[in-house]
Chain A
Amino acid sequence: MKKNLKITPEGTKDYLFKECTAVNYVCRKITKVFENHQFHRVITPALEFYDLFSADSAGIAQESIFKTTDNTGRIIAVRPDSTLPIARLVSTRLQNEIFPVRLYYNQSVYRNNPSLTGRSNEIMQMGVELIGSYGKRADLEVITTAVESMRAFSKSFRLEVGHSGLFEALINDLDADPDTKESIKTYIENKNYSALNDLLDKLEKTETATAIRSLPSLFGGVEVFEKAESIIKAPKALSALSYLKSLYSDLLALELGENIIVDLGLLQRNDYYSGIIFSGYIQGYGDAILSGGRYDKIFDLFDVPMGASGFAINIDYLAEQARYTSKSNIPEVLVYAKNDSDIIDAIKRTSELVKSGVKAQFSDLSDEKEAREFAQRLGIAKFEMIGE
C-alpha cells in the first residue's frame, strides 16, 4: 500500500512563518474587539458525541461531519460547529452561573466538503455567544460586535440582516404540503426566482403566496420595509418585520447604515435560527465571511430554555489578506558564542537584547563559519560574536 507520508488530506494545509504571523495578527485584532465587549474565552474539545450535532435544529448535514467511534462503539464527531458544544457546556457546567454570560471561542471547525472544490475542511473560526438574554438589546450588542470585528479589516464590508420569523410565519400560513414548503425554502435561500415562481404558480394565489414570491427581491436599504409592508399582511410576519425595522433604525442611529443591508429573503439553517439572522461579506471573498443570529431553540435540546445569539467569523481569508501586509519575521541580530565557555554569556546577551526590544536570536550552531553563513543567507543584518 502506498503510504501518504508526505501530503496532508484534501482541504487541509500547513501554515508557515508569515502565514502564522498573519493568523496571529487577525486573531489578536478580533480578540481585542471581543474582550472589549467583555466576552470571555472558552475552549471545547475537537471531539464530541455525534448526537450533539444530529438534531434537525442543528442544521448540519450528516455527510459533512467527520465521524469516528469511541472504544465502546459510540459515534464521535469532529466538531463541525462551535455553538452547539458551547450550548452543551453552558447548560451543564455553567448552570449556576449568573446569566447572561458572554463567551467567545477561537478554534477550528471541521467539515467534510465534497472533493475537488477547493474548500477548506478545517476552518479556523472565532465567534461569540451571548447566552441567557432575549430581545433587542442583546441583538444590538451582538451585531455591533460583529460590525466592529469586520471593520477592523475592511471599510467596505457589508452585513446583511434578516429575520427568520418572517419566513416562518409566511410558510406556516401557506396551504401546501411539507415537500413543497421545503422546496420553497431552498429556492428562496438560493434566490432562485424562476423555480420559486414556477412552484408558486401551481398554488392558489393567496396573499401569502404573493408575499413569499416577493421575499427574494426584498433586500436593500430602508425602502425595503415600505415595499414589504404593502405586501405582507400576516400578523406574525408583520411583527417580525416591525422588529427588524426598529432594529435597523437603531443601526442607522449608530451610523452603520452604509455597511448594513436588509435582506428579507435571507434564510440559512432555517430550523436553527429563531430571530434575527445576519451574514457578513467583504470584497474579494466569494462567500459569507461571518454568519450569525439568534438561535434560542438550541437550548430546548438541553431542556434549559434560554436566549442565545452570536456569530462566527472565518479567519482563513482574513489571514490570507493580512499576510501581504504583515511584517517580516527575520531576526535583526544573531548572537554567536565563540567557544563553549561563552555560551552562558551569549544566552544572557540574547535575552538582554530581546528585553530591550531587539529581535535577537541565539545561534544554536557550533561552527562560526556555518553560523555566519546562516545569518547571511537568511538576511540577518547583524552578527554579534561573544567571547572575542
Chain B
Amino acid sequence: MKPIRIALTKGRLEKSTVELFEKLGYNCDEIHNKGRKLILSVGDGKFEVVLAKAADVITYVEHGVCDLGVVGKDTILENGTSFYELLDLGFGRCRFALACKKDFDFYHGYGAKTIATKYPNVTRRFFEGKNMDVRVIKIEGSVELAPLVGLADGIVDIVETGSTLKANNLEVKEYVTDISARLIANTASLKLRKNEIEELVKKMEEAIK
C-alpha cells in the first residue's frame, strides 16, 4: 500500500505536528535530519511528509497529490475551498483582529475606510458581513506600518500577544475570528482510504484531548 502523504506547513506548525506524531509513537527521524530531502518518511514508511508554505499545503491537498495537510485556519479562510477539514489540532492558536490607532473611532462617520492586510479575502468577507464598503489594500510585509504612515485607517491581521500593536500605539478594535492549526483531507483520499485516515484521526484526537 502506498504511504499516506501529508503536507506540513513549515515552521512552527511543523514542530508541533512532529511532536504530535512522536506522541503517537511514529518515528520522525527523517524530519529531524532532513538535509535537502523534500519527501520524508515517517512512522517507518506508513506516512510520507512533505514540507510546504502554508498556502501551498492547501494547493497540494486540493489537487490530491497529498492526502492530508496540516495548516492554519488563517490560511484556510484566506485560500481554502474544496477539501475536508477533519480536526482542530489545538496548537498554533492566535486570532484575526481588526486594529487601528489608539483613540481612533473606527466606526465613526460615513466615509469609506481603508484597510491594509495580508488577508484580503478574510477582510472583504468580514466587512461584507457588516454591510460596510471598505477599500482593501494588500500589504506583503509588516501591516502595522500602514496606519502609522497614513496609508490605511486600520489593519486586519493575526494577533498573538498584541505586543507589536502596543509598541506602535495601535489597539484591537474587534476580533474577527479564532485561529488554530487544522488537519485537512483531500476529498477523494478520504473516500478511497477511509479506514487508514480515520484511524489516524482517531489517534490524533485522543492525543490532543
Contact = CB atoms under 8 A, between A and B. Distances in A.
Interface string B51-78: 0000000010111110000000000000
Nearest to A263: B191
Contacts of B185: 191
Contact of A190 (B63, B84, B87, B88): B84
Contacts of B61: 286
A153 B140 CA distance: 46
A287 B85 contact: no
Interface of A: 117-118, 156, 158, 160, 190-195, 219-220, 261, 263, 279, 281-288
A194 B84 contact: no
B182 interface: yes
A224 to B, nearest CB: 11
Contacts of B86: 191, 193
A286 B85 contact: no
A146 to B, nearest CB: 15
Contacts of B84: 190-192
Interface bin, chain B: 20 to 34
A137 B65 CA distance: 38
Contacts of B85: 190-195
B186 A286 contact: yes
Given A195-B85, A286-B188, 6 more contacts: A190-B85, A219-B194, A279-B191, A281-B187, A284-B64, A286-B61
Interface SS, B side: mixed
Contacts of B62: 117, 286
B82 interface: yes
A156 B186 CA distance: 17
B69 to A, nearest CB: 12
A160 B194 CA distance: 12
Contacts of B65: 286
B187 A286 contact: yes
Contacts of A191: 84-86, 185, 190
B100 to A, nearest CB: 27
Contact of B188 (A194, A220, A287): A287
Contacts of A282: 188
A310 B191 CA distance: 21
A198 to B, nearest CB: 9
B88 A194 contact: yes
Nearest to B65: A286
Nearest to B188: A281
B27 interface: no
A285 to B, nearest CB: 6
Interface in B69-116: 82-88
Q: When A and B form their complex, which 6 residue pairs have the shortest distance between CB atoms, in order from nearest? A: A286-B64, A191-B84, A194-B88, A192-B85, A281-B188, A281-B191
A281 B189 CA distance: 9
Contact of A281 (B82, B87, B182, B192): B192
Contact of A287 (B88, B182, B187, B194): B187
Contacts of A287: 64, 82, 187-188
6 contacts: A118-B63, A158-B192, A160-B191, A194-B87, A195-B85, A281-B192
B129 to A, nearest CB: 9
Contacts of A279: 191
B84 to A, nearest CB: 4
A220 B198 CA distance: 11
B24 to A, nearest CB: 19
A219 B189 CA distance: 14
A345 B190 CA distance: 62
A193 B87 CA distance: 7
A261 B192 CA distance: 10
A286 B189 contact: yes
